[in-house]
Structure formats: C-alpha cells, structure tokens
Structure 1
C-alpha cells in the first residue's frame, strides 16, 4: 500500500525554521467526481458500496512520522479547507484547523499539548477503531485537547437537559464543556456537537459503518452504527445513535467546505472519497429512515435492550442486519 508523503522540508515544531509546505496530488482520479466513480456499479447495494470504498482506499497515512513526512497531524492541517497549502506564499505559521466541537478556526501550531488541539477520532478508538481505520482521515477531526478528553468514547446523539428535571438522567450539561460551542451538550451516554458540525460527523460515521465490515487482513472489526449500542460482547464495536445521525445528516447538509476536505483527503492521502458527501441521497438508500425514539431524553429506541435501557424489552438492532 502506498504511503502518502508530503514533499516538504517540514511541518511546524518538526524543524524550527520551516515556513511553508506543499502536498502533491497523489491520486489525480480523485479530483473529478464522475471520473472517480466511473467504475463503481450503479447500485445502492451495501456490499458493492463497501467493496468500492475498500478497493479505492489506496493510501494509508501514518499516525505519526519523523520530520518531513506526512502523518495524521500534518494531514489534518493540510486538508482543512481554510488552508491553501498549494499556494507558494502559504505560510504554516498562518495555518488553522477547524475545531469540531468549538466550531471555529484555531492556530494549527503548536499542537498535541494540553493547551493545544488534538486528533479526535469521531468513532472512538476504544470502540473498535484500529489498523487502517485509526488513521482514516474521513473520520479524524481536530478538537481541543480538553474537549477530546471530555467526550471520551461517548456516542453521538441529541441531548435534552430537560431530562434532569424528570429524573431520567443523573447528568446533563449544555454547553458540553468549557470551550465547546454554545449549542453542544452531553449526558450520561451521548455527546452532541455543534449544529454546524452534526451533518459532517454523521456522514463520517456513516462512511465508517460501510467502509469497515471486519474484512480479513485489515485488523479492523465490523464497525456498526445502531440505535441500541452496548459496551459488552459484540456491541463493543457499536456506535450510536444511528437515528440521530440520520436526522443530523438531513438537517446539516453537505457544504462546500466539506466537499473540499473530501477531495483533499482522496487526492493527496487515501485515494478514496466519502460517498455520502458526494451523493447524500445514498444515505437513505443504504440506512433507511430514522426511527422515532420511545424516550428521547434517555436515548431509548424501538427494539432496544441493553444495560443502558433497563426495563425496555426487545432485540438489539443495527444498520447492518
């Protein structure tokens, strides 16, 4: 598998006097959407879509690298739509990253320290993200260190802090954490990002669900989106809440910033695109329509039973079966 490299002298903090960098186009077929999908079967069959996403995933970005080579830190700076890294006058000292939970641009350097930004796995590593999935830029975002830690491995979902007064949850907070956007929230189970980023994150997770099916040789388990997640057994690689994510996809549609990021990830690093960014209508064809919650504040959906949903009977369902 080809390792995407940045043919520059360095990234900030790697060499002291570096000012600029430029990333090459490694996969030119990524630039034109029609060209990229020319060989894909005209079908919404889940297995065919999975096979295409996997076969086109030609490049793996190292998680961390020595100076002068691309890794997930440098790639997140490069793919940020605000950074015109191909411009010869682009200065790294002026680069920014978009903070996914704060919802604003932040200086790209320095990074990786408690007061700086960190790499946020939208599908948490502790929920099955390993191997090539760990460095998949389609699901990797920038977030302040403290917000990354505060979210932990919580599912994504709508949060209604009115549940406090009804006694259905022991914890609820909005905004979710100091430094997060005003319209974020968190409770015992869920983390709700800002409205402007909900669709982006939803499409990232929908992509992960289809891209990673536990294929032999990839060292990645079957990643499953569901309304009925569990932390035990087969549920350990589940992520929720599917119906909330489907609603976020509809309420926060794809914008030009997301399209730019998708193209940069494909052409410069991985060789594959997030199909749900290019063809939003494919979401409903593959995942169907969102379910209506039995108890929205407690994240209880029809057919769910887990340790999180005591007293609610039924079978655990997910997007794949």
Structure 2
C-alpha cells in the first residue's frame, strides 16, 4: 500500500478520548551487561547477581519509607497529586500512611514466608512487590494465591481511569474475581494489571534465593514460585521462613504473556530503582521470562532501532525533538513514541510482536512494514515526525493506543508482512495526533525498527 493510502486509513479512524500519560524510561547503560541469557541456569544466576543486595527502606517511618516511594511509583498519570490503586483502579489523593482509602498490598502475601517486619526482613519492604491498594480490595484478596476464576465467582469491579477499567457484569470484563479462602482460594487480577502483578512475583523468585545480603550480611529467604498447593500451604506458618512458596506459577506466566509491560509500569520501575538501586528485570526484558521458565533461550530478534527523532540525524519538522531512541515529540509525550520488538525473529516460531510506547493515548495508528530504510536510515520529515521506512510498503495492522499511550500487534507480523528467511524488514508506527500536535500536522511517527528474519 502506498503512503497516501495509509494516511487515508488513519484519517478515516477517529478517537474521542485523549488522556495524559506518564513518561517511560529505560535501564541505565550497562546495567544488564553481565547477564548471560544463553540458558535458564545461567540467566537465573547472572540476573540474581544484578538485582541482589538492594537498599532497604523502612515500611513506616518519619523519614523516607515505602509510603513515599509507592506514592511516586503509582502516581496517577492524569494528576500528580493522586495515585492509582492496583486492583480497583481508583484514583485517590495522596495521603500517606494511616488513611481510610488505601493501604499497602503484599502481592506475595507476607504471611507466606516473611510476616514479621524488622530491619533484616528485606522482602517485607521491597517496593517491587508492594502496591498501593484500595483497603477493602486488599482485605478481599487476603492471602489467596493468584488463580484464574470463573463467571460464578465473586466480582470486584474496577473504576474507569486513564482509559482503562470500569464496567462490570460480564466475565472477566475489567473486573477482579475471587473465590474461597487461604491456599484453596484464588484471586484473578483484572486485565490491565495482571501482568504487573505477575512480573512482581517473578522478580521475587529471582531476587530472593537464600544466602546473605552482600552489604548488610543479614540472611534472606529463598522465595519460590510453584503450582504445588501443598508447598504453598506449608509456607503459611506465621513465622519468617528460610524457604517459602507462592503461586500459581503457571497462571502468573500466562498473565505475564497476556498483559504486556506499559509505560505506567515502566515509570514505577524507574521510581523504585531510584531509591532501592535495583530494577525488576522483567519490566525491562519481558522476553527473559520465556527463557527462565520455558527454556526458550534462543537469540533475541535480530533487530535494531534506527531513525531517531532526537536531533542526532534528520531534524524533526518543527524542532520537536524527542529523546534518544524514540521518535519526534508529540502533543502528549515529550519523549516521543517508541516501537520495539518482543519475541524472536524466527518465522517458524511466529512469536514476534511489535510494541509501541508513548503514543498519543486513545488515538489510532498503523503498524507498517517496508523493505528499505529511507535516507540512509536517517528518515525524511513527514507530518510531525520522520518517515523512516520505504521501498515496498504494506500495512500490517491498525490499532488504538490505550490510556497510557501503549499498544501492540496481535497479528503474526512475519506472516502478514510476507517475510522470508534471510529477508530484512523495517517497521514503524504511524499515529494520529490531534490539532494541538507540535507542528500542527495531525499525525506523527515513532522511530523505526529493523528485523532480520530467520527460519
């Protein structure tokens, strides 16, 4: 399809709601340099070494504590004086500890392995696993494992905020679902946060492997995810344990796949890193989950990002530069939109997904593919951005960004694009921007991504 036809597709799609979004960031250069992802064992040990030995902050204190950190990590993208809670998706005014609206949820229930808070209990105050949560929903979840529920179970609805949540009455809808109690019960997290919760527990499974803290010398528990309900039940002793279990692992792995990382989650990871000094690696590298738990440790997609709107190459059309690694600035996201890949470049696997972050919330866009990189990979001015992809251009998929400006392909990218083994294809996201766009052209583009397809 030719570019004018692509523009017609965009122009024919309208969106009504445009919401603000939180800025995303990335791991600092070199943070994961020592990680060996060649096999599950090597990845587990090398990744543990990177994220181990973080700085502990007190649970509650007159100095900086978990309340301070979490209220920054879960800040409402639409209002910096408010937070979004994890299960209800309610927006609450920031109030600190002791308020009647929200409290702190241990997604790995503290009763399963580390119930007694003290200066030596690192998982108790680890903000990568703590979430601000509507108090009544926290009580409803209690210490039930994470499981898939059914339509006959109890529904805990969400509130519509930032383009997500709301509704109810249909299963699963945008609701949480719960049944039973203790180990025999279950809690199913609503669609937009099930991946966040899954990645928090996967982080704990790698971060805490027994032994001693490298700086303080205190002993740490070995926290293990499993589907074995007997092992999970045995961890609920009321005492701090050297080994503890939680799950269900198979459910969490599926939730991780079903709910990709978004900008809200990335922002939280950056905030927590700025205090604790360690990151949740599965937010930065979601593909590592497949290696660790499924043994799929083949090379990542043979790909490369290019054609940035940061002023390093072709200038953005009206001086609206983004930041390194992204497209030109748009009306809602000063850093620009980013396109990235998730999965492998294997045509047989068919698991390559294109992800977009930092687009204009609730607005439509188009994933398209081309056989060539324009202007030596520097791109040419086009709308409010740079068109980087040319040659034989085809349309892959129209999609809408969510309330955080994120979206992904659902189609088989290699199949729809007609890629063959050994072929190099170039991908870009072209999206609608309202009349308030920086240059006034009404549309913009991400940077581009190149993929070398393999059999």
Which TM-score tier does this pair reach, normalised by the shorter chain? 0.5 to 0.7
Q: Secondary structure at the match of 2:187?
A: strand
Alignment partners' CA distance in 1, 2:159 and 2:262: 27
Residue matched to 1:220 = 220
Match of 1:254 among 258, 261, 264: 261
Residue matched to 1:128 = 113
Residue matched to 2:68 = 74
Q: How many residues align?
A: 237
Q: 1:97 to 1:218 in 2, by over 3 A?
A: farther
Match of 1:141 among 95, 109, 131: 131
Residue matched to 1:282 = 288
CA contact (8 A) 2:101 2:134 kept: yes
Report matched runs for 1:30-49 at 5 Å.
32-41=27-36, 43=38, 44=40, 45=42, 46-49=44-47
Residue matched to 2:90 = 104
Q: Secondary structure at the match of 1:253?
A: coil
Residue matched to 2:59 = 63
Alignment partners' CA distance in 2, 1:110 and 1:42: 40
1:211 and 2:207 equivalent?
A: yes
Alignment partners' CA distance in 2, 1:101 and 1:274: 20
Alignment partners' CA distance in 1, 2:157 and 2:111: 21
Q: 1:177 to 1:190 in 2, by over 3 A?
A: farther
Q: Which has the larger radius of gyration?
A: 2
Alignment partners' CA distance in 2, 1:177 and 1:104: 7
Alignment partners' CA distance in 2, 1:97 and 1:178: 13
Alignment partners' CA distance in 2, 1:150 and 1:259: 27
Instruction: Name the structure where strand makes up a greater proportion of residues.
Output: 2
Q: Secondary structure at the match of 1:195?
A: coil
Instruction: Name the structure where helix makes up a greater proportion of residues.
Output: 1
Gaps of 5+ in 2: 1-24, 116-120, 169-174, 238-243, 296-455
CA contact (8 A) 2:75 2:82 kept: no
Q: 1:280 to 1:108 in 2, by over 3 A?
A: same
CA contact (8 A) 2:108 2:246 kept: yes
CA contact (8 A) 1:60 1:132 kept: yes
Alignment partners' CA distance in 2, 1:178 and 1:98: 10
Gaps of 5+ in 1: 1-29, 85-89, 163-171, 290-321
Residue matched to 1:160 = 150
CA contact (8 A) 1:138 1:265 kept: yes
When the two chains are superposed, the root-mean-square deviation of aligned CA atoms in Å is 2.8
Q: Which has the higher contact order (CA 8 A, sep 6+)?
A: 1
Alignment partners' CA distance in 2, 1:118 and 1:75: 13
CA contact (8 A) 2:104 2:130 kept: yes
| 1:32 shift after superposition | 4.2
Residue matched to 1:118 = 103
1:10-49 CA-to-partner distances (Å, cap 9, x unmatched) read xxxxxxxxxxxxxxxxxxxx96433322344455521222
Q: 1:238 to 1:32 in 2, by over 3 A?
A: closer
1:129-153 CA-to-partner distances (Å, cap 9, x unmatched) read 3601111111100111121122111
